[in-house]
Structure 1
Amino acid sequence: MTHVMACIDYSQSSLAVCDYAAWAAQKLGAPLTLLHVLDEEKYPAAADLSGNIGLGSREHLLEELATLDAQRARLALEQGQHTLEKARERTVVSGAAFPELKQRHGHLVESLSELEAEIRLLVIGRVGENSNRGAQSLGSQIEAVVRTIHRPILITASSYRRPEKVMVAFDGSPTAYKTVQMFAASQLCEGLPIHLVMVGADLEDNREALEKARSMLISSGFEVHAEIRQGDVEAALHVYQSEHGIDLLVMGAYGHSRIRQFLVGSTTTTMLRTATMPVLLLR
């Protein structure tokens, strides 16, 4: 069975990750897994340094260094386990079923790649514990995670706000239609009003494309408001969010034109960096 999987670390954003993961698990009726990955570069596993006898080396000092590395890693794993247990308490209080806990020692992207078959929805904070960026910036590992994991990814806001209104960004591309189809088939936002927004010229072709997507959502039981806005994509979407009190943005990870250049100065990247709401990326 696939799970909602939430990435937990020591950052402040993990509180919001717990809350959004609990919400998603309840909406999807899916089991929840909390994952902590101990960074192997920061806390290396114990190494055999007995062969490293070179200039200035002292074998007993090398042994002591290896022992200290092992102790640091052990303590960090224990701290990570404690963090996972506290995260489990928070998600249970938020209404989620008792979640499974997983801990890995390695690299986040590699660990998620190994676990991908178990993931139905990945929930991750916008910035992690090692980031020196602001709460609304984009963490250094998000790009690698999105490029590697071919599962829906919910990138959370810095604090939790239960989603009540959803905006689906639509550009008329085949990828955008696929995004709408995937979204329509999901239970995640069932019962919530949907704002289907296209930024572009108010032309007949665009109106027809928007109506087609709107009909797909309506046929799945959604209440849909569809609108075309003109202007810069990012600015128009932000203005729409502010005007309508949008709590969740849904986007395809890839699209055409500028959006196709995902995370290389693209519209998608800018929205991830500047959005004050959580962003659900569909692949």
Structure 2
Amino acid sequence: MNIICAVDGSEYANWGIEILGSLFHRSLKEVILLHVMDTNPVKAGLKKEGARATKVKKFISALEKHGRDVLKRAKAHAELAINQSKTKPFVSIRCVLAKGHAAEVIIREAEKRTPHLIILGSRGMADIKGYLMGSVSRKVLSYAPCAVLMVKEPLLTPAKALLALDGSGASRRAANAVKKWLDPEDVSIQILSAVPQVLTDIAPKVLPKAHLLALTEPFYHRAEELTSQYRTMFITEGYEVHPEIRKGNPREVILESIRKSKVQLAILGSKGLTGPERFQMGSVSEWVAAYSGCSVLVIRPRPA
């Protein structure tokens, strides 16, 4: 398993580094520690103030030195985290200092290096304005060519993880990633299948109960089959599993289950929608990543 871990010296980035050893030691092979420095605003600001070219160059050199220091500390932290992991795998650690807008650089590096996963910290979003305008973490989550783990808090193992399933190819990829990447000793899994509200609010007023049951029962039975299937699969692999079926809007159901069960890590599959299609249909994974209090692992489809 190859991982790009974005680092900036913040506590969020440090939590992401620690996850390398605590959660992904089972399959970890290579880690690329990536620090991005955006020099354009600095250059523009200094030039606007009338600074000479030598001063601009000196300031950029200072930023580069700071970036190298961040990477040096991050590498030492990563080596310690990985060496303290249960299996102590042999892992190659490389440092990359890049220039540009953070989200664009992270996505570009991922497209070039084809990792399985990007880990980055999130300072969270508390309002709808923040969600609509976006952040570095949300942009990476939306456009990265691989899975993304958005770290919001320290993750202690064994961690309580929620795996949202809906029977789609996206949720199957998420389940398979759990099997391949995460050790049963490091996570317990709460399988959640949300049964969406397929009828309008007026339906109970105009339709007999028997008719309502006949319309909604197939969706509930499908959810039962799905949770039973994956429960058996994960138990066979040695995981502790707790299935749950809840009715309602998937976004709301997942967020409520995370709060109620004190989940540390939410795992969701992304269908990889882009452009107008994603805007019109919305993305449950992006919504959960924006508004949940826990870290979120989104399994995106990798390019063929």
What TM-score comes out, normalization by structure 2 length?
0.72
For the pair 1:209 / 2:226, whether they are aligned, the reply is yes
In 2, are the aligned partners of 1:262 and 1:268 still within 8 Å (CA)? Answer: no
Corresponding residue for residue 52 of structure 2: 65
For the pair 1:229 / 2:246, whether they are aligned, the reply is yes
What's the % identity of the aligned pairs? 21
In 1, are the aligned partners of 2:29 and 2:92 still within 8 Å (CA)? Answer: no
For the pair 1:123 / 2:119, whether they are aligned, the reply is yes
Corresponding residue for residue 151 of structure 1: 146
Letter of the 2:35 partner, please give it: H
The CA deviation string for residues 75-95 of structure 1, in whole angstroms up to 9 with x for no partner, is 011011111112222223323
Q: CA deviation at 1:228?
A: 0.3
Letter of the 1:105 partner, please give it: K
Letter of the 2:248 partner, please give it: G
Q: CA deviation at 1:277?
A: 1.4
Corresponding residue for residue 299 of structure 2: 282
Q: Which runs of 5+ in 1 are unaligned?
A: 50-60
Letter of the 1:175 partner, please give it: A
Q: CA deviation at 1:219?
A: 4.5
Q: CA deviation at 1:243?
A: 4.0
Letter of the 1:168 partner, please give it: L
Letter of the 1:5 partner, please give it: I
Structure-1 separation of matches of 2:248 and 2:145: 31
For the pair 1:166 / 2:161, whether they are aligned, the reply is yes
Among 63, 81, 94, which residue is 2:68 paired with? Answer: 81
The CA deviation string for residues 91-128 of structure 1, in whole angstroms up to 9 with x for no partner, is 23323457322111123344332343352221101139
For the pair 1:199 / 2:194, whether they are aligned, the reply is yes
Among 244, 268, 276, which residue is 1:251 paired with? Answer: 268
What TM-score comes out, normalization by structure 1 length?
0.76
More helix by share: 2
Structure-2 separation of matches of 1:263 and 1:3: 33
CA RMSD after TM alignment: 3.3
Corresponding residue for residue 88 of structure 2: none
Structure-2 separation of matches of 1:8 and 1:70: 24
Letter of the 2:156 partner, please give it: R
Q: Which runs of 5+ in 2 are unaligned?
A: 84-90, 197-216
Structure-2 separation of matches of 1:158 and 1:42: 29
Q: CA deviation at 1:10?
A: 4.1
Corresponding residue for residue 15 of structure 1: 14
Aligned pairs, number: 258
In 2, are the aligned partners of 1:177 and 1:213 still within 8 Å (CA)? Answer: no
In 2, are the aligned partners of 1:168 and 1:250 still within 8 Å (CA)? Answer: yes
Cα distance, 1:194–1:255 mapped onto 2, change above 3 Å: farther
Q: CA deviation at 1:37?
A: 0.8
Corresponding residue for residue 93 of structure 2: 99
Three-state SS of the structure 2 residue aligned to 1:159 is: coil
Letter of the 2:181 partner, please give it: Q
Structure-1 separation of matches of 2:57 and 2:122: 30
Three-state SS of the structure 1 residue aligned to 2:58 is: helix
Letter of the 1:236 partner, please give it: V
Three-state SS of the structure 2 residue aligned to 1:280 is: strand
In 2, are the aligned partners of 1:199 and 1:230 still within 8 Å (CA)? Answer: yes
Letter of the 1:244 partner, please give it: S
Corresponding residue for residue 54 of structure 1: none
In 1, are the aligned partners of 2:138 and 2:290 still within 8 Å (CA)? Answer: no
